[in-house]
Amino acid sequence: MARLRTAPESKPQAKDYTAPALEKGLDILELIATQKGGLTQSQIAAALKRSIHEIYRMLSSLERRGYIYRTRPGDLYFLSMRTFELAHRHEPTRGLLEIALPEMRQIADQTEQSCNLGIPSAGRVLIVDQVLSPAPFGFSVRVGAHFPMLPNAAGRVLLAFQDDDVRNAWMRADGASDLSDSERAELARSLRQIRSRGYAEVQDQQFSGVTISFPLLGGYRTALAALTVPYVSSISFRTRPLAEVRARLHSAAAEISAKLSGAATQAGAPAADADAT
């Protein structure tokens, strides 16, 4: 395809310009975001190979704008929820939540199971909302929490319903480059199975139940988000059958996907029996 020109050939290409102050601020945010226990000013300066003086000015600005906060005593800096709030103000995320939340509330009411919504974020799954089970017990996740993609159902659904280049980039970010050849082959088989079946179902090793996740598909039939129910059974309370919960989640995902893509979707019932993936 011919390339459009916006300047004569004789004119030199524009140089790449950098914004050192902006880059320092972003470096600080990205560093603090990886540390659960917070960091001191000197630790941040050492990690970024910057002087205490320049880091102090950046920390003061970021703290004043509400992107980080400091605990006392200890003077440890933590990432605030400011960036998460900005993400929720972003139009695509707001639109997704407005469409998905009514269905999520119905899922929780009708199945008596919690339901959460995860989106891809820097090679991980970011939980952007959840509706808790009305039952006396249930499983919940923290809104704003990040999870690795490979080990869980939502992450695998997001990976399975992506173009190859996007999937490969996410897998590199999630550490898939460290997998052995056999592990990589098994992962590819698992993702193909999920795409063919239409959802992921993972047996949990920590509680009595499974995690079921369906993709929310956009107009290009790629996953924009994952709608997930951590199905919990109990001997003390009567819980709805897994097949019923799976079918309800499937119909909700189809309805949301239809609204997201702007096209009517007709969905068949998912398979009643599913092998853990």
**For range 257-270, the mean pLDDT:** 62
Per-residue pLDDT for 166 more than 60? yes
Residues 201/276, Cβ–Cβ less than 8 Å:
yes
Q: Which CATH class is domain 86-261?
A: alpha beta
Tens of pLDDT, residues 22-79: 899 999 998 998 887 889 999 999 999 999 998 999 999 999 998 898 887 778 998 8
Tens of pLDDT, residues 73-114: 778 998 886 776 666 555 667 788 889 999 999 999 999 999
Tens of pLDDT, residues 169-212: 788 777 676 788 888 899 999 999 999 999 999 986 555 679 99
For the chain, give every domain's residue range.
Answer: 20-80, 86-261
Q: Give 20-80's CATH code, choosing from 1.10.10.10, 3.30.70.360, 3.20.20.70, 3.30.1130.10.
A: 1.10.10.10
Identify the pLDDT of residue 89: 59
